[in-house]
Amino acid sequence: MEVENTFKQWKKQCLNKIDFSKKGSVDEDITNIVSVLNDSEKYFTTSSCSGRIIVIDGVSDCLDVQKQNCSWLFVTHQKCQKTDLVTALERSCGDVIFKFEPFILHVQCRQLGDAQLLHSVAVESGFRNSGITVGKKGKIIMAVRSTHCLEVPLSRKGQVLVSSDYIEFLVEVANQKMIENLRRIERFFECLQSAMHHEDLHCTSSEAVKEKSVYKRRRKRTQDSPVEACQSSNDATLSDEDNGLQNGMDLFT
Amino acid sequence: MEVENTFKQWKKQCLNKIDFSKKGSVDEDITNIVSVLNDSEKYFTTSSCSGRIIVIDGVSDCLDVQKQNCSWLFVTHQKCQKTDLVTALERSCGDVIFKFEPFILHVQCRQLGDAQLLHSVAVESGFRNSGITVGKKGKIIMAVRSTHCLEVPLSRKGQVLVSSDYIEFLVEVANQKMIENLRRIERFFECLQSAMHHEDLHCTSSEAVKEKSVYKRRRKRTQDSPVEACQSSNDATLSDEDNGLQNGMDLFT
């Protein structure tokens, strides 16, 4: 009961906070996913992005692209056009990097079984780098992630190192990835609804059986506990592959 | 006890298996990490790669780079040279993609606390996309992952779309990422040793205190259980940031 109350408090605090992201609101293509999760007593979202194509202007000789050393020349959560990239490059005098980043979502979960259910939905939808974090104070976070990306350096110290044809080609490749990303988001939403509906039915029927069992136990101690039936559905969909039993180079499929 | 025995059996089976990866052996730069983990009763590795620079030849119009549709033109787990890339491009007549992929490791863990310890080591070392999977049959896998990557399309249907200067620049960028990757691997190894040593000390001292406590309990029930002191060190190093409490666009730092 204490765990439940703590989770409810965390959820209330989080959902009441101001959205401090640069955009300030949930991305359109995932508002349905975010709503379904936040409407459930088992979950709440802590951060999200539907996926994006970005052009970053970095400081030269900066080993890593860290936000504090970079400015954002362009960003879209949909497909982009060649002119977007050309315009961004014209505005730069540093090291420009073009990136595609897929859907990412962090969800705090009430208990481990809830996180497992969500994890299996994520992996089934193509977000194969998803994983669970169990932090101090018992916070359980499921992160939806994927390796489906692009990262292409385009200029150095303001000098563009690629041709106009290459830029056109790159835009096409990035847009294909965005289309695939949006397809996977739709699949995630369908799988999520299905899994949560299935879970609710299971729990409802196990509640009903449990009531009967309680009645029976008063008369006769022969009925097994139905709770296990409900819990097993949380991790039923994970495969051996997802348990990391592949070796070496198969990891990157 | 049953869980312990099951874990020991899984470990024995896994470590006795033939390595079916293309390389057939553990990468040199991580043999120390793999050894330390496999020597511990709490862990065993199921797959690993120290990081690599690869050139893949894909089938044109293939939306995703799937292994079954691609051939590997070049791979190294160290830095590469311009000639490697040029030679690889000459051998292709499809869609060539140049990639840098960082260190990745899958470790099966005896219990959740062990996974949490390893997770904190991974995040502290810069592998911020690491996460835990809890699968069916109770398998707990901690995956060490990072977003530190490159993915650059270079040709289409055999036609190279970038200049020689760009190839040289790209090789330099990839090599910088490889240097950073190897630095993080070293850090991971140091953090791992430190965390495991600290964990052993804690458990040893809690065992010693426990013996004293048992003695005291026979006389007087006043001593609190020291087991909690040992367990708390497993998740002491995770920060709020790692619990996914950032919003929107801060995710990609």
Q: What does the block give as tokens for B61?
A: 């119009």
pLDDT of amino acid A212: 53
For residue B138, is pLDDT > 50? yes
More confident residue, B106 or A93: B106
pLDDT of amino acid B24: 73
pLDDT of amino acid B237: 28
Q: What is the DSSP letter of B43?
A: E
Pairing of strands B52-58, B70-76: antiparallel
Inspect the interface and report whether the beta carbons of B169 and A180 lie closer than 8 Å. Answer: no
Interface test with A, best of B66, B134, B144, B176 (most A CBs within 10 A): B134
More confident residue, B141 or A204: B141
Chain B residues close to A169, C-beta within 8 Å:
153, 156, 161
Chain B residues close to A236, C-beta within 8 Å:
136
Inspect the interface and report whether the beta carbons of A161 and B169 lie closer than 8 Å. Answer: yes
For residue B43, is pLDDT > 50? yes
Q: What is the DSSP letter of B30?
A: G
| B164-219 vs B82-90: helix crossing angle, rounded to 10 | 110
Inspect the interface and report whether the beta carbons of A133 and B49 lie closer than 8 Å. Answer: no
Give the closest-approach CA distance of A216 to chain B in angstroms.
31
Calculate mean pLDDT across residues B174-192. 96
Which residue from B149, B157, B161 is spatially nearest to A102, judged by alpha carbons? Answer: B149
B205-218: pLDDT as tens digits: 766 665 554 444 44
The top-scoring range by mean pLDDT among A110-124, A125-139, A194-208 is A110-124
| The dihedral formed by the CA atoms of A33, A39, A45 and A46, expressed in degrees to the nearest 10 | 140
Contacts of B186 (CB under 8 A, 6+ apart): none
Chain B residues close to A46, C-beta within 8 Å:
243-247
- Which residue in chain A is spatially nearest to B50 when comparing CA positions? A248
Task: Tell me if ipTM is over 0.85.
Answer: no
Chain A residues close to B161, C-beta within 8 Å:
163, 165-166, 169
| The dihedral formed by the CA atoms of B21, B25, B26 and B31, expressed in degrees to the nearest 10 | 170
Inspect the interface and report whether the beta carbons of B21 and A235 lie closer than 8 Å. Answer: no
CA distance B206 to B229: 8
pLDDT of amino acid B93: 86
Q: What does the block give as tokens for A241?
A: 């592959």
pLDDT of amino acid B98: 97
CA distance B251 to B185: 22
For residue A233, is pLDDT > 70? no
pLDDT of amino acid A61: 52
pLDDT of amino acid B166: 97
Calculate mean pLDDT across residues B50-75. 75
For residue A229, is pLDDT > 60? no
For residue B64, is pLDDT > 60? no
For residue A252, is pLDDT > 60? no
Give the closest-approach CA distance of A214 to chain B in angstroms.
29
Interface test with B, best of A60, A72, A159, A249 (most B CBs within 10 A): A249
Helix, strand, coil share of chain A (percent; to 5): 50, 20, 30
Distances (CA, A) of A128 to A104, A120, A135, B141, B184: 12, 9, 21, 14, 23
pLDDT of amino acid B123: 94
More confident residue, B81 or B200: B81
Chain B residues close to A107, C-beta within 8 Å:
244
A17: exposed, middle or buried (Cβ count in 10 Å: 0-12, 13-18, 19+): exposed
pLDDT of amino acid A148: 83
The region of weakest confidence among A119-123, A211-215, B63-67, B130-134 is B63-67
The region of weakest confidence among A51-65, A217-231, B9-23, B38-52 is A217-231
Interface test with B, best of A65, A129, A247 (most B CBs within 10 A): A247
By residue count, chain B amounts to: 253
More confident residue, B99 or B60: B99
pLDDT of amino acid B4: 75
A152-198: pLDDT as tens digits: 999 998 899 999 999 999 999 999 999 999 999 999 999 999 999 88
pLDDT of amino acid A209: 62
Q: Assign 3-class secondary structure to B179-221.
A: HHHHHHHHHHHHHHHHHHHHHHHHHHHHHHHHHHHHHHHHHCC
For residue A224, is pLDDT > 60? no
CA distance B178 to B224: 49
Which residue from A149, A166, A161, A159 is spatially nearest to A252, judged by alpha carbons? Answer: A149
CA distance B108 to A243: 8
CA distance A96 to B74: 26
pLDDT of amino acid B16: 81
Interface test with A, best of B66, B67, B76, B136 (most A CBs within 10 A): B136
pLDDT of amino acid B168: 96
- The answer to whether A116 touches A110, Cβ cutoff 8 Å, is no
How many CA atoms, within 13 angstroms, populate the side-chain half-sphere of residue A224?
Answer: 4
For residue B37, is pLDDT > 90? yes
CA distance B138 to B158: 47
pLDDT of amino acid B247: 28
Calculate mean pLDDT across residues B150-177. 95
Inspect the interface and report whether the beta carbons of A243 and B139 lie closer than 8 Å. Answer: yes
For residue B222, is pLDDT > 60? no
Q: For residue A24, what pLDDT band results from cuts at 50, 70 and 90?
A: confident
Inspect the interface and report whether the beta carbons of A47 and B251 lie closer than 8 Å. Answer: yes
Pairing of strands A131-134, A140-144: antiparallel
